[in-house]
């Protein structure tokens, strides 16, 4: 005869058993929840933009990448960024998912707002890899980003970048000097067109540019036009209104940059493009007499690809003003000669600009000069920006963005006025062309190469036409060769002979 459990005892056993089962399930759920949260946190904190993007399906917003359906303003604020001094942290520096990559235009002056996040990520098909069979979509994407690298779509066409960068992309082997906004993918085309429609600085359009009837100059004619019509000037203490300001005679240099520095025989201009990664160009770059770099582009940790010499660093006013760049305290800026610039209204005089700068360039300049009184530090005269802008517009077949040229072209022309020969690296992308924006940051966007706010596409057309080196040099080394202005013979006969 079997042993019988009394009814009440049996209820107790099954109650206990049920409670234990619930507790077990609860513990499993809690563990799974904690692991998920920890994983999410680790992924976002460690990998920033691409992974956060993968998880939440949004891309970090940048000025270089406004929404396609609205002309936009960058909203600054939100969570405080975790800044890594590029000079102190070799290796790729992750972007900050909380903040857009900073922009070269003050938000104070625009009224538009960012629209909803782009549909780009949403449009991407769900990944179909190993993880997708085991986990829900967001985790699958995060894990794929972590283990497989960037999502397939971002580099292989779904993002549109392969239209430009892939083997059959319109970028071809080397830059085509007739690139136009119509050749861009839809997203970038709309962004560029939005900027082309804006006129924040009150540009007065004149000259033959903007139509296909304009005369197409030879490289030599273009070079001579630049030499004659663009003057690289910097502010000096005797310029109005500075001569009347108490701080200016103490802090502004008494002489022009071009009289204090050079002349140099050979110079290198190192763009910040992602295609410098794994270029091995560092040694070659360092052989030049003078090397110019931009904004917060570091050398430490990237010497093999970009070299270690920095003679001049050209920085935009946004870098000086934004907290992210720690301009006043970072060691990145404290060696070599600094040259700063700020977009000024097209027709303003120095006094008007002084009172309406895009970013507080003069406050920061004064602070920096007091902290580093020995370091040479110049400010570009805004006339230079717009003279150069006019040269680009006059030589293009379509209206260009009415915003100043990028630091890249400003720096190239600056070096052409101080050097006999200038090599520009990865401004025209080599065979390493990539949507990676900067060699020192993990952020991908074709807008960095083709421009959005800056008329970068057209700047590159101009540089391609003036290049005196070979297409092979561009393809293999991303290297353009330009003559210095002093080495050019621009008499009418000399130009015609060519
Ligand atoms: O990106 P940036 O330029 O600092 O790069 C310096 C110059 O290198 C050339 N470049 C860069 C990347 C790339 N993929 N291809 C390139 O040809 C360009 O000529 C570029 O000028 C600037 O011009 O000052 C700019 O500054 C940044 C940003 O303000 C600074 O990097 C500080 O963070 C601007 N980015 C944004 O506003 C989002 C960029 O548009 C222009």
Residue-level pLDDT at 285: 98
Q: Give distance in angstroms: CA of 234 to centre of ligand 1.
A: 21
> Is the CB–ligand 1 distance for residue 437 below 6 Å?
yes
Residue-level pLDDT at 18: 87
User: Could you tell me which of 483, 457, 488 has the C-alpha nearest to residue 170?
Assistant: 457
Residue-level pLDDT at 37: 82
**Grouped pLDDT means (10 residues each) for the chain, 498 residues:** 56 80 89 82 48 38 35 27 40 37 32 28 35 50 46 38 69 89 92 93 84 84 97 96 95 96 97 98 98 98 98 98 96 96 96 96 98 98 98 95 98 98 98 97 96 98 98 97 95 68
Q: Which of 271, 358, 415, 435 to mutate to test the pocket of ligand 1 (most atoms within 8 A of CB)?
A: 271
Residue-level pLDDT at 425: 98
Are 353 and 344 in contact by the 8 Å Cβ rule? The answer is yes
Q: Which of 408, 436, 451 to mutate to test the pocket of ligand 1 (most atoms within 8 A of CB)?
A: 408
Rounded CA separation 49/286 (Å): 32
Query: Can you list the domains of the chain with their CATH numbers?
Result: 19-56+125-158 (no CATH), 181-497 (3.90.1480.20)
User: Could you tell me which of 62, 106, 70 has the C-alpha nearest to residue 356?
Assistant: 106
Are 345 and 202 in contact by the 8 Å Cβ rule? The answer is yes
Query: Which residues lie across from 482 on neighbouring strands?
Result: 422
Are 372 and 169 in contact by the 8 Å Cβ rule? The answer is no
Residue-level pLDDT at 205: 87
> Is the CB–ligand 1 distance for residue 407 below 6 Å?
yes
Query: Which residues lie across from 380 on neighbouring strands?
Result: 234
Torsion of CA 35, 41, 42, 46, to 10 degrees: 170
User: Could you tell me which of 1, 82, 7 has the C-alpha nearest to residue 324?
Assistant: 82
Instruction: Tell how far CA 454 is from the center of its chain.
Output: 10
Name the DSSP letter for residue 297: -
């Amino acid at each position: 005869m079997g042993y019988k459990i009394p009814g009440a005892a049996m209820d107790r056993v099954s109650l206990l058993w049920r409670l234990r089962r619930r507790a077990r399930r609860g513990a499993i759920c809690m563990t799974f929840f904690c692991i998920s949260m920890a994983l999410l946190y680790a992924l976002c904190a460690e990998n920033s933009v691409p992974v956060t993007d993968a998880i939440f399906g949004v891309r970090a917003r940048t000025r270089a990448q406004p929404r396609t359906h609205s002309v936009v303003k960058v909203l600054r604020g939100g969570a405080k960024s975790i800044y890594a001094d590029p000079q102190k942290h070799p290796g790729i520096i992750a972007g900050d998912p909380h903040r857009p990559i900073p922009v070269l235009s003050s938000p104070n002056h625009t009224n538009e707002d960012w629209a909803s996040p782009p549909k780009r990520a949403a449009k991407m098909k769900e990944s179909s890899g190993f993880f997708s069979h085991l986990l829900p979509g967001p985790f699958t994407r995060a894990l794929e980003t972590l283990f497989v690298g960037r999502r397939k779509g971002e580099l292989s066409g779904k993002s549109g970048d392969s239209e430009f960068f892939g083997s059959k992309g319109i970028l071809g082997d080397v830059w085509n000097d007739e690139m136009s906004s119509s050749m861009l993918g839809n997203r970038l085309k709309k962004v560029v067109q939005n900027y082309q429609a804006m006129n924040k600085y009150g540009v007065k359009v004149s000259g033959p540019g903007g139509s296909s009837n304009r005369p197409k100059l030879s490289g030599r004619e273009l070079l001579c036009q630049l030499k004659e019509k663009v003057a690289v000037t910097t502010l000096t203490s005797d310029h109005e209104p500075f001569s009347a300001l108490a701080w200016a005679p103490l802090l502004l240099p008494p002489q022009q940059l071009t009289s204090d520095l050079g002349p140099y025989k050979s110079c290198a201009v190192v763009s910040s493009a992602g295609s410098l990664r794994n270029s091995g160009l560092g040694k070659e770059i360092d052989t030049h007499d003078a090397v110019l770099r931009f904004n917060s582009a570091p050398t430490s940790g990237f010497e093999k690809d970009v070299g270690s010499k920095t003679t001049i660093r050209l920085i935009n006013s946004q870098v000086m003003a934004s907290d992210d760049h720690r301009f006043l305290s970072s060691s990145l800026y404290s060696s070599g000669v600094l040259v700063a610039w700020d977009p000024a209204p097209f027709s303003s005089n120095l006094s008007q600009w002084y009172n309406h700068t895009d970013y507080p360039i003069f406050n920061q300049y004064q602070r920096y000069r007091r902290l580093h009184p020995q370091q040479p530090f110049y400010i570009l005269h805004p006339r230079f920006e717009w003279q150069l802008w006019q040269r680009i517009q006059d030589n293009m077949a379509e209206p260009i963005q009415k915003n100043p040229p990028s630091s890249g072209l400003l720096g190239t022309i600056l070096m052409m006025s101080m050097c006999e020969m200038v090599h520009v690296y990865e401004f025209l992308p080599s065979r390493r062309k990539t949507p990676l924006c900067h060699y020192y940051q993990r952020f991908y966007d074709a807008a960095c190469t083709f421009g959005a706010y800056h008329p970068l596409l057209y700047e590159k057309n101009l540089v391609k036409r003036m290049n005196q080196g070979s297409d092979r040099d561009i393809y293999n080394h991303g290297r353009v060769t330009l003559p210095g202005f002093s080495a050019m013979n621009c008499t009418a006969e000399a130009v015609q002979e060519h």
